[in-house]
């Protein structure tokens, strides 16, 4: 595998900086406009965490810090970013779109970036530049660790601070703990399915995509 084409590196860097700018905009908007704003709550949104993680990953690849042939670990990390961002987009579109903004910080441009544009960018990047090494669905199951840890963190922290990042995680708004559990199981099943799909597509594209010209 040769070095990434210049245009691939350019869009990776550009979109990574765009996502980080959108997150920073929301953060500083909250600090500036809302006296009740809590940084801990802001960084407890899966959307914020996944966007930061994916932006750092995409920026690292765009800057060529993974070499001309990324390692298996590097590609697994990139795959995780794809799954988390696509999950962010799907959950937003199915459970949150049109609802109230929990922090009241979003404007149309940054809301579209973190929930729509960047998830599509990560998915497109996976198709344009498929993983350089082989890995299996079993290998990719490690991607589930973060979403499951996030769920536990949110459910433990929620009663302590009397705040949940999403209504469907709040027992008082999500149909009790049974309702929250049902939603969590549904999301977990979706993440597992997305993990399988991203793995399958990446490996299939790896064998069908011609190498970039050197």
**pLDDT, tens digit (0-9, with 9 covering 90-100), for 132-153:** 899 999 999 999 999 999 999 9
**Residue 214 falls within a domain, yes or no?**
no
**Residue 202 falls within a domain, yes or no?**
yes
Q: Does pLDDT of 210 surpass 60?
A: no
| In the chain, alpha helices (H) | 6-33, 39-42, 46-62, 72-91, 108-112, 118-128, 137-140, 145-161, 176-208
Instruction: Tell me what the mean pLDDT of segment 153-180 comes to.
Output: 93
**Residue 1 falls within a domain, yes or no?**
no
What's the confidence (pLDDT) of residue 99? Answer: 53
What's the confidence (pLDDT) of residue 136? Answer: 94
Burial class of residue 48, CB neighbours in 10 A (0-12, 13-18, 19+): buried
Could you tell me the CA-to-CA distances from 89 to 71, 80, 180 in Å, in that order? 27, 14, 20
| pTM, full prediction | 0.90
Tally of domains in the chain? 1
- Range(s) of the domain holding residue 155: 6-208
Rounded Cα gap, residues 115 and 92, in angstroms: 7
What's the confidence (pLDDT) of residue 70? Answer: 86
Rounded Cα gap, residues 54 and 87, in angstroms: 12
**Residue 43 falls within a domain, yes or no?**
yes
pLDDT in tens, 15-61: 999 999 999 999 999 898 888 889 999 999 999 999 999 999 999 99
**Residue 171 falls within a domain, yes or no?**
yes
What's the confidence (pLDDT) of residue 212? Answer: 52
What's the confidence (pLDDT) of residue 1? Answer: 47
pLDDT in tens, 72-101: 999 999 999 999 999 999 988 887 765 555
CB 88 within 8 A of CB 194: no
Q: Does pLDDT of 211 surpass 70?
A: no
Residue 50 CA, chain-centre distance (Å), reads 3
Could you tell me the CA-to-CA distances from 185 to 50, 120, 149 in Å, in that order? 20, 24, 14
């Amino acid at each position: 595998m040769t070095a990434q084409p210049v245009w691939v590196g350019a869009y990776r860097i550009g979109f990574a900086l765009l996502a980080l700018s959108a997150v920073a905009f929301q953060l500083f908007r909250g600090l500036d406009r809302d006296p009740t704003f809590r940084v801990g709550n802001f960084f407890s949104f899966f959307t914020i965490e996944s966007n930061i993680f994916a932006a750092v990953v995409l920026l690292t690849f765009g800057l060529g810090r993974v070499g001309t042939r990324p390692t298996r670990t590097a590609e697994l990390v990139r795959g995780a970013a794809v799954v988390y961002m696509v999950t962010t987009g799907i959950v937003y579109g199915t459970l949150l779109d049109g609802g109230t903004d929990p922090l009241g910080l979003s404007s149309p441009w940054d809301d579209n970036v973190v929930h729509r544009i960047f998830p599509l960018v990560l998915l497109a990047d996976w198709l344009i530049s498929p993983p350089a090494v082989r890995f299996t669905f079993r290998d990719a199951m490690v991607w589930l660790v973060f979403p499951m840890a996030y769920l536990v963190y949110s459910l433990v922290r929620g009663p302590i601070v009397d705040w949940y990042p999403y209504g469907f995680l709040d027992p008082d708004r999500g149909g009790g703990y049974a309702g929250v559990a049902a939603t969590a199981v549904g999301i977990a099943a979706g993440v597992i399915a997305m993990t399988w799909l991203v793995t399958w597509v990446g490996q299939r594209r790896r064998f069908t995509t011609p190498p970039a010209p050197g």
